[in-house]
């Protein structure tokens, strides 16, 4: 590094409270970022990457204390500053953007005011000049019609627009350092690509140093100058992006990179050409808000959606948020009642059945949910969670529990897990429990709604393997709903691309990835980060 | 939906609700045993059948129930609340005479509880876990759990009778004939005890709710954003935390505002406050149907009105609300 670093973290050690699973959030952390440089700190959840970022900002939770080291910003140790001096640093010298654009803005304050507030906090300008500057900033981060949008409230903006507002806010005083804590994780892939481009352009134009926290190697490959890999609070590897991605030295880095699903699908497997077990024809669902005077807002979540899945086949349903893919998945189980079309399991049209008549058939189609933390009842033992479905269908409780034991072994957990509660398990383990729960009813069809999206990449790879394995062994038909094209490339036999409630393109995974026909599919594929630098393993 | 449209729809619904309440009141009151004629005749010491019959004819009580309902609803539709034979005056005049005192009492109680409760809640949240927080939350719990009438009686004994700081009962000093500012001060001194007593329950409720709400908002992501801007803690508390924490309080305040008119019966009776709460109590004892129905109607109208006001305030306070 030729220039003096903007940020120089030396030997930083953050102590966790006494009962945590390890004594230090990070220990002996050394990082340096030069002006205009973008350093990615990568790691899985719990690696301490976010804590490190918050330490720079002086925004650590009360229970976490820096016990050793220095955080030097242009040579000044931030850890030695008092509250007032640190407040002056925040916003003026260091700006920060966060993961959740939906919750990171004050919901009852206009976005222009929220941007102007950064200037106000540092006593710059008067009300009118601050607002002018806010509009300028909004123009700079590419928000449409900034003068009007400054008067909008956060809920009137899309996720990507809100993240642009956050960036405008963080850059208001042209800080020398920008900290971005997973800023694109909650965004759709095309929006993510735009935000990454924006961050990249801003640091080039202003020479801002960027500390970019992420768990996503695709994003890293897209944007990083240098990379630091964090495992259990320790930097295991650090170096220029090309070196770390192309020739990883540390075993952990290699494992992480190997776990990133490739965007190149495997060669097509010979498929069981059977009768479709699930067939959907002309499915439609409209969400409408009723009001006293006339019709309210109408959203066409699904329109004329048709597909079928054979036994032993995985159909991927991909699209961005709001495309209607989850609605379609839920309609197949009649968790949402469709407005039009028919859904058949074998020859049985389940849309024609009454709720009561459908109940005995529910066991044939089961679901695995996205959030392994929210989808298991926290007050029930794992055994009862898994056995509940069979018991409801008339199986003897004792036999159901015995079966639960077998299922736990099937999904790779010890049978001893049966008497424990969900909170005693990690995210990946909970997702295994969720899969065991779905399998307890011996379904023919599994609907997996973003089933691996909340998991770290190494855990994600394990769960994907498990799903593949189960599909083969049990001959399941799987409807795999996901926004992640890398995951879809690896697990799906066929893929249907959804946009605004319609399937715009459907085909074999290999064909679709090699030669996407619809412009929207092309756009989605082009937006997947890291395609250039992340090669297939 | 625009504001005007929203208002029109709410007013329309309000009228429908009021109509239903008026009908319900009419039947409820007739479900109780005894009628005004019997009570008046009893008081006059002339409860013979002929006199009773005469009174009933005079009051229209001999006519069929549907006919009576028709007359009653027709009157209410034209905002004519009927005539009290008991008081020999129109119900509107009787209620109108008492309403200002009640509005003064309940308005004062409302403002005191809202301001004091929110303030105490903010203080408790800012000092969460310290002794001042414990003091506020414990006191709030005690007042929340203590019956209103007991607090009313005890405050009379301590502050009026023992300490003599404020008058014991009544609306103003009878026979003093104060005018202007002196009269206002006199009424204000009479107002202190009943208003505090009436507002105490809600003060406690607001304090507890505001505290919980503040602590919840303090953990929100956008508070971290505010800190990352370099804002001072006092600005963050005021502009970001309290401004959002007040939203559940608005809902609660709407409920309180509706309840205050009816809830003042006990307070007005204990403190001999000449409001419609006491009027309702008197009318009930005397079986003065017309006045009772009038009071009920005015109370219901207040509840409906305050509900609409709450919705309007909520729409202003929380821009995310489009239409309820």
For A189-209, the pLDDT digits (tens) are: 888 898 999 999 988 999 999
CB contact under 8 A, B5 and A293: yes
Q: Taking the CA atoms of A218, A223, A225 and A226 in sequence, report the sign of the dihedral they define.
A: negative
**A88 contacts on B by Cβ (under 8 Å):** 230
**Residue B322: inside a domain:** no
pLDDT at residue A537, as a whole number: 46
CB contact under 8 A, A92 and B230: yes
Which residue, of B62, B91, B120, is where some domain finishes?
B91
Mean pLDDT (chain B) is: 86
**Residue B227: inside a domain:** yes
Q: Which of A91, A100, A291 faces B229 most closely, judged by CB atoms?
A: A91
| B269 and B172 fall within a common domain | yes
A48: which residues sit within 8 A by CB, 6+ positions away?
Answer: A14, A24, A25, A26, A29, A230, A232, A233
**Residue B101: inside a domain:** yes
Which residue, of B38, B61, B91, is where some domain finishes?
B91
Question: Three-state SS for A105?
Answer: coil
> Cβ atoms within 10 A of the Cβ of B238, count?
12
**A175 contacts on B by Cβ (under 8 Å):** none
Would you tell me which CATH number, out of the four given (3.40.50.300, 3.40.50.2300, 3.40.190.10, 3.90.1570.10), belongs to the domain A276-288+296-527? 3.40.50.300
pLDDT at residue B306, as a whole number: 86
The CATH number of residue B140's host domain is 1.10.3720.10
| B166 and B312 fall within a common domain | yes
CB contact under 8 A, B224 and A104: yes
Q: Which of A90, A103, A291 faces B228 most closely, judged by CB atoms?
A: A90
pLDDT at residue A86, as a whole number: 94
**B239 contacts on A by Cβ (under 8 Å):** 109, 117
Q: Which of A57, A117, A153 faces B231 most closely, judged by CB atoms?
A: A117
| B218 and B262 fall within a common domain | yes
Tell me the per-residue pLDDT of B210-259, one tens digit each, with 9 for 90 and over. 999 999 999 999 999 999 999 999 999 999 999 999 999 998 888 888 77
Q: Which of A57, A62, A96 is nearest to A78 (CA)?
A: A57
**A288 contacts on B by Cβ (under 8 Å):** none
Predicted TM-score (pTM) of this structure = 0.82
| B18 and B106 fall within a common domain | no
**Residue B323: inside a domain:** no
Where in the sequence of chain A do the CATH 3.40.50.300 domains occur? 7-259, 276-288+296-527
**Angle of the B221-228 helix axis to the A159-170 helix axis, nearest 10:** 30
Number of domains in chain B: 2
CB contact under 8 A, A107 and B319: yes
**Residue B282: inside a domain:** yes
pLDDT (mean) for B103-127: 92
| B248 and B165 fall within a common domain | yes
**A171 contacts on B by Cβ (under 8 Å):** none
CA distance B296 to chain A (A): 28
**Residue B171: inside a domain:** yes
For residues A91 and A326, give the distance between their C-alpha atoms in angstroms, rounded to a whole number.
39
CB contact under 8 A, B221 and A100: yes
| B197 and B296 fall within a common domain | yes
| B51 and B134 fall within a common domain | no
Domain that includes residue B119, residue range = 94-317
CB contact under 8 A, B225 and A169: yes
| B69 and B98 fall within a common domain | no
CB contact under 8 A, B243 and A122: no
Q: What is the CATH number of domain A7-259?
A: 3.40.50.300
CB contact under 8 A, B228 and A91: yes
| B179 and B45 fall within a common domain | no
**Which portions of chain A are predicted below pLDDT 70?**
1-2, 270-273, 289-297, 535-537
Which residue, of B91, B118, B141, is where some domain finishes?
B91
Tell me the per-residue pLDDT of B27-43, one tens digit each, with 9 for 90 and over. 888 877 777 777 777 77
CA distance A298 to chain B (A): 14
CB contact under 8 A, B230 and A90: yes
**A293 contacts on B by Cβ (under 8 Å):** 1, 5, 9
| B66 and B48 fall within a common domain | yes
| B118 and B166 fall within a common domain | yes
| B178 and B142 fall within a common domain | yes
Paired with B240 in beta bridges are none
pLDDT at residue B266, as a whole number: 84
Residues of chain B that touch chain A, judged by Cβ-Cβ distance less than 8 Å: 1, 5, 9, 12, 220-222, 224-232, 235, 239-240, 243-244, 247, 317-320, 323
B277: which residues sit within 8 A by CB, 6+ positions away?
Answer: B102, B261, B262, B263, B264, B265, B266, B267, B268, B269
Judge whether A107 is closer than 8 Å to chain B, CB to CB. yes
* Both tokens assigned to B224: 């971290």
**Residue B324: inside a domain:** no
pLDDT at residue A479, as a whole number: 96
């Amino acid at each position: 590094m030729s220039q003096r670093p903007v940020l120089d973290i030396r030997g930083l050690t953050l102590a966790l409270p006494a009962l945590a699973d390890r004594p230090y959030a990070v220990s002996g952390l050394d990082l340096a970022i030069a002006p205009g440089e973008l350093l990615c700190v990568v790691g899985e959840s719990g690696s301490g990457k976010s804590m490190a970022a918050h330490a720079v900002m002086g925004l650590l939770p009360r229970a976490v204390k820096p016990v050793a080291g220095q955080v030097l910003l242009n040579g000044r140790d931030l850890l030695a500053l008092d509250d007032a001096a640190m407040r002056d640093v925040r916003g003026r010298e260091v700006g920060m953007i966060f993961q959740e654009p939906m919750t990171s803005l004050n919901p009852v304050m206009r976005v222009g005011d929220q941007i102007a507030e950064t200037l106000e906090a540092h006593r710059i300008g008067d009300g009118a000049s601050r607002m002018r500057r806010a509009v300028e900033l909004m123009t700079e981060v590419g928000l449409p019609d900034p003068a009007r949008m400054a008067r909008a409230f956060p809920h009137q903006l899309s996720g990507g627009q809100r993240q642009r507002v956050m960036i405008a806010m963080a850059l208001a005083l042209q800080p020398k350092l920008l900290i971005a804590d997973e800023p694109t994780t909650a965004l759709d892939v095309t929006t993510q690509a735009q935000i990454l481009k924006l961050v990249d352009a801003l640091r080039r134009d202003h020479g801002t140093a960027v500390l970019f926290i992420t768990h996503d190697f695709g994003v890293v490959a897209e944007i990083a100058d240098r990379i630091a890999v964090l495992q259990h609070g320790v930097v295991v590897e650090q170096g220029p992006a090309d070196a770390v991605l192309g020739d990883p030295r540390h075993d952990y880095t290699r494992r992480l990179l190997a776990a990133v699903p490739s965007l190149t699908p495997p060669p097509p497997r010979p498929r069981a050409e059977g009768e479709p077990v699930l067939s959907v024809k002309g499915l439609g669902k409209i969400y409408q808000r009723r009001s006293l005077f006339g019709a309210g807002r109408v959203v066409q979540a699904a329109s004329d959606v048709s597909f079928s899945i054979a036994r032993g086949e995985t159909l991927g349903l991909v699209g961005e948020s709001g495309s209607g893919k989850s609605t379609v998945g839920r309609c197949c189980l009649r968790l949402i009642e469709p407005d039009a079309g028919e859904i058949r399991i074998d020859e049985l049209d389940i849309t024609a059945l009454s709720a009561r008549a459908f109940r005995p058939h529910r066991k044939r189609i089961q679901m695995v949910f996205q959030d392994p933390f929210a989808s298991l009842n926290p007050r029930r033992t794992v055994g009862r969670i898994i056995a509940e479905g069979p018991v409801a269908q008339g199986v003897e409780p004792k036999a159901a529990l015995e079966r639960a034991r077998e299922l736990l072994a099937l999904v790779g957990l010890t049978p001893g897990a049966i008497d424990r509660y969900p909170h005693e398990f990690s995210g990946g383990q909970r997702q295994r429990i969720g899969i065991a729960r779905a399998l307890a009813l011996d379904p023919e069809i599994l609907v997996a709604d973003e089933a691996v999206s909340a998991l770290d990449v190494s855990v994600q790879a394990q769960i994907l393997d498990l799903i593949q394995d189960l599909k083969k062994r049990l001959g399941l038909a799987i409807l795999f709903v996901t926004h992640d094209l890398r995951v879809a490339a690896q697990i799906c036999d066929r893929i249907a691309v959804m946009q605004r409630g319609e399937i715009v393109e459907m085909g074999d995974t290999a064909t679709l990835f090699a030669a996407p026909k619809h412009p929207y599919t092309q756009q989605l594929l082009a937006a997947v980060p890291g395609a250039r630098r992340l090669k297939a393993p | 939906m625009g504001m005007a449209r929203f208002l029109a729809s709410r007013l329309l619904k309000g009228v429908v609700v009021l109509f239903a309440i008026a009908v319900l009141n009419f039947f409820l009151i007739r479900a109780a045993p005894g009628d005004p004629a019997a009570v008046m005749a009893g008081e006059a010491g002339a409860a013979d059948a002929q006199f009773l019959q005469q009174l009933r004819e005079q009051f229209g009580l001999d006519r069929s129930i549907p006919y009576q309902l028709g007359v009653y609803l027709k009157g209410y539709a034209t905002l004519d609340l009927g005539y009290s034979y008991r008081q020999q005056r129109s119900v509107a005049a009787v209620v109108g005479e008492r309403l200002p005192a009640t509005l003064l009492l309940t308005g004062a109680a409302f403002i005191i509880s809202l301001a004091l409760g929110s303030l105490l809640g903010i203080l408790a949240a800012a000092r969460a876990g310290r002794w001042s927080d414990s003091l506020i939350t414990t006191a709030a719990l005690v007042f929340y759990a203590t019956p209103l009438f007991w607090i009313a009686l005890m405050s009379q004994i301590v502050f009026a009778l023992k300490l003599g700081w404020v008058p014991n009962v009544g609306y103003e000093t009878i026979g003093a004939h104060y005018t202007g500012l002196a009269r206002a001060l006199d009424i204000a001194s009479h107002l202190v005890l009943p208003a505090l007593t009436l507002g105490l329950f809600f003060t406690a409720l607001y304090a507890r709710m505001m505290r919980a709400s503040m602590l919840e908002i303090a953990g929100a992501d956008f508070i971290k954003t505010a800190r990352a801007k370099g804002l001072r803690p006092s600005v963050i508390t005021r502009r970001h935390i309290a401004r959002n924490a007040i939203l559940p309080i608005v809902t609660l305040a709407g409920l309180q505002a509706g309840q205050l008119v009816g809830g003042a019966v006990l307070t007005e009776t204990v403190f001999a406050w000449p409001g419609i709460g006491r009027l309702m109590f008197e009318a009930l004892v005397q079986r003065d149907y017309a006045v009772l129905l009038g009071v009920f109607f005015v109370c219901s109208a207040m509840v409906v009105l305050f509900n609409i006001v709450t919705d309007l305030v909520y729409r202003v306070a929380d821009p995310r609300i489009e239409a309820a």
